[in-house]
Amino acid sequence: MTAILENTAPEKPKSITSGLDPRFKPRLYEHVGVPNSWTLEYALKNGAYEGAKKALAGTPEQVQDEAKKSGLRGRGGAGFPTGVKWSFMPKEDSKPHYLVCNADESEPGTYKDRYLMEHDPHQLIEGMLVGMHAIRANVGYIYIRGEYILAAERLERAILDARAAGLLGDNAMGFGKSMQVFVHRGAGAYICGEETALMNSLEGLRANPRLKPPFPAQAGIFGMPTTVNNVVSIASGALIMRHGSDWFASMGTEKSKGNFLFHISGPVKRPGVYELPLGTTYREIIYTWGGGPTEVIKAFNPGGSSTPMLPFTDEILDMQADYENCAAKGTFLGTGGIILIPKNCDIVNMMYNYVRFYAHESCGKCTPCREGIGTWMVRLMQKLISGRGDPNDVKILEDLFGNIKGKAFCLLADSCIMPVQSAYNLFKEEFEYIAQNGKPMYSGYANRWNVE
């Protein structure tokens, strides 16, 4: 009797947490790299817009629920549940709603959105239709960074083709609703990745961040209810409608579900974008897929330059990459853009590179960031790497960390301090060495260019 009972209780299949699991199927990047994959003809042959059709046939709440059930969390770095974000939009109002796709991918070490837009623009447009339906929007903007020239061209072309085929337009897909998507190209400003700065940019203003509240769902672009989602969040919405929330939730760990675009840069044998389930170990990502480092590594940023560094140890490498495990180690899953930090390069020089980046990208609105990052951090780091430092500078640096972090208008200043402070905590001796001796502990940063 007990044997029969055991047999009838279906065992829940183990969640997919490795790209080597035979059940794992690449979906986001399924067509990336295939010739002509950006054409409407190719996309339609491969099931594009089936998800949008399902979405538009149902109610906005049904789409929100499907996204909630899937466990999808924002892929821009913050990890907020997408379905919940969609449900924040007002239900009954006479105002126009807007969906904005944040394609301003400017986080150093991050390059996942670019190839998706270049090679599979229809997947993103389909996702726009799904997301727009979920938030009752008739207009969507794809805010793409100005430097992504080919991606913008392919998207513009894809929108024209989709409009001509009746997938977008006054009667999109024959559901009697007007659905329009437009591309808005940026012009070289990292801060536009911050959603309120992006909205100002879209309105033709300087891209300074706005004070919250009001939140975008209350008053976003043009003062109207707005949702801003990352490219991969939106594309995932299309895939969830196509393949079901169960498919998405069959991958990942307890609270981090689905497929994710990990990508590696720095000294690694095969830099590239790897679509893998969440919960894949960093060892698998870096060694099995990336081919392993090409030199001795001392640390890595797990998800873009803003995410605090993790030491390159067995413990960390065997950690499953997900939102919770990263948080437990004091960092973030971020964008999934892993940057390997080589041992023979001086950490102070490398962190100066980061500081210079954030200083250049500071919008100048608030004092802690404009003066703290833009002047103090830059000058102090310049002093150290040019060999004019003295031991007291390390104390000033610590003081700056405390006086900038958590004190600025938006997260840009923290995004600079977090990786630099993590590097300082991990490699304090290198900071002290250069301050004391006027030269770096490791000299490998000076010459890294390949001739051939």
Partner 1 sequence: MSFFANKQNLVSDILRRYPTDRKRSAVMPLLREVQNAEGYVSDERIAEIAGIIESTATEVMSVMSFYSTYSSIPTGKYHLQVCMTLSCALAGSDQLWDYLQDKLEISQGEVTSDGLFSLQRVECLGSCGTAPLMQISDAGYAECLTKKRTDALLEELKRRGDGSIPANDTPTPVFVKHIDGRVVQVTSDGQIAGGNA
Q: Which of 10, 13, 176, 204 binds partner 1 (CB under 8 A)?
A: 204
Cβ neighbours, 10 Å, residue 357 = 17
Smallest gap from residue 81 Cβ to partner 1 (A): 26
- In the shown chain, the binding pattern of residues 210 to 249 toward partner 1, with x for contact by CB under 8 A and - for none, equals ------------x---------------------------
How far apart, in whole angstroms, are the C-alpha atoms of residue 277 and residue 291? 18
Smallest gap from residue 392 Cβ to partner 1 (A): 27
# chain residues binding partner 1, by CB under 8 A: 86
Nearer Cβ to partner 1 (391/449) = 449
Judged by CB under 8 A, the chain residues 301 through 360 that form the site for partner 1 are 305, 337, 339, 342, 345, 350, 353-354, 356-357, 360
Judged by CB under 8 A, the chain residues 60 through 99 that form the site for partner 1 are 96
- In the shown chain, the binding pattern of residues 260 to 299 toward partner 1, with x for contact by CB under 8 A and - for none, equals ---xxxxx-xxxxxxx-----------xxxxxx-------
* Alpha helices in 218-365, H assignment, sequence order: 231-243, 245-249, 282-283, 314-317, 323-328, 347-361
Nearer Cβ to partner 1 (82/305) = 305
The SS3 assignment for 411 reads coil
Phi-psi region of 321 (alpha: psi -120 to 50; beta: other; left: phi over 0): beta
- In the shown chain, the binding pattern of residues 166 to 185 toward partner 1, with x for contact by CB under 8 A and - for none, equals ----------------x-xx
How far apart, in whole angstroms, are the C-alpha atoms of residue 391 and residue 39? 60
DSSP 207-229: -PPPPSSSPTTTS-GGGS-EEEE
Q: Which of 132, 158, 189, 426 binds partner 1 (CB under 8 A)?
A: 189
Nearer Cβ to partner 1 (83/374) = 374
Should residue 205 be labelled a site residue for partner 1 when binding is judged by CB under 8 A? yes
Nearer Cβ to partner 1 (57/150) = 150
Residue 414 · residue 405 · CB < 8 Å: yes
DSSP 29-67: TTTTTSTTTTSHHHHHHTTTTHHHHHHHHS-HHHHHHHH
Judged by CB under 8 A, the chain residues 378 through 417 that form the site for partner 1 are none
Smallest gap from residue 169 Cβ to partner 1 (A): 13
**Residues ≥6 apart with Cβ < 8 Å to 130:** 51, 52, 55, 63, 234, 237, 238, 241
* Of 98, 102, 82, the residue nearest 90 (C-alpha): 98
Judged by CB under 8 A, the chain residues 9 through 38 that form the site for partner 1 are 19-22, 24-26, 29-30, 32-34
Q: Which of 108, 209, 303, 374 binds partner 1 (CB under 8 A)?
A: 108
Q: Which of 206, 212, 388, 428 binds partner 1 (CB under 8 A)?
A: 206
**CB-based burial label for 23 (10 Å; 0-12, 13-18, 19+):** exposed
Nearer Cβ to partner 1 (85/298) = 298
Smallest gap from residue 238 Cβ to partner 1 (A): 16
The SS3 assignment for 261 reads strand
* Angle of the 412-426 helix axis to the 347-361 helix axis, nearest 10: 170
